Amino acid sequence: MSDDVTTVMVVDDHPIWRDAVARDLAEAGFEVVATADGVGSARRRAAAVQPGVVVMDMRLSDGTGAQACLEVLAVSPSSRILVLSASDERADVLDAVKAGATGYLVKSASKAELGEAVRATAAGRAVFTPGLAGLVLGEYRRIAQQPDGLRDGAAVPSLTERETEILRHVAKGLTAKQIAERLSLSHRTVENHVQATFRKLQVANRVEATRYAIEHGLDQ
């Protein structure tokens, strides 16, 4: 991935945005290999072009961004997904993270911020905002408060103390660099911790979905 130009697919149902984001990314040196306006077209094109990064809006013509994340990763597992949305960091963004997105950026971000975020996503780093950290933190706490009966089985994601500490700092607006200084860690370690919190939710979500499918005979 590092020795080649990063390939990008832009999924947005609004033509103004789809075109502008594609143009900006092309200008920033990425190769935009496909665009799509919905879940169905995103899946078909991702299967064909196997993009390195998918820049994903949350509201699509035929479904949600979270749905599209699942379907794209099913046909193109090596793709990494960056959510770019005007949505106000609510449940749908959390769903996208659980569905496998590793980054989230608001649409008000500048061209330079977008390019940097795509670069980070391509390199396997998490892109996050304070709002997203608050949602992820809330999700782990919700899971922890569920009665034991509801969480039989091993796939109950939980945070380490360090992860909790870091997510709280992110949610309070500290940058990875500031957190690294406060905790005497490296910048990369802080990012890795945040990323781990995303990944655990995603794995738990997938296990949950599989178990649901098996229990309901949907796994054929």
Q: Provide the binding-site residues for other proteins, judged by CB under 8 A.
A: 13-14, 16-17, 20, 59, 86, 88-91, 94, 107-108, 110-111, 129-131, 133-135, 137-139, 141-142, 144-145, 168, 171-174, 178, 181-182
**Non-local CB neighbours of 117 within 8 Å, separated by 6+ positions:** 82, 103, 105, 109, 127
Closest to other proteins by CB, 29 vs 173, is 173
Q: Least CB distance from residue 173 to other proteins, whole Å?
A: 3
* Residue 119 · residue 103 · CB < 8 Å: no
Q: Is 147 exposed, middle or buried (0-12, 13-18, 19+ CB in 10 A)?
A: exposed
Q: Least CB distance from residue 11 to other proteins, whole Å?
A: 14
Closest to other proteins by CB, 17 vs 192, is 17
**Non-local CB neighbours of 28 within 8 Å, separated by 6+ positions:** 111, 114, 115, 118
Q: Least CB distance from residue 95 to other proteins, whole Å?
A: 9
Q: Least CB distance from residue 72 to other proteins, whole Å?
A: 21
Closest to other proteins by CB, 74 vs 175, is 175
Closest to other proteins by CB, 124 vs 173, is 173
Strands 63-64 and 31-36: unpaired
* Residue 197 · residue 167 · CB < 8 Å: yes
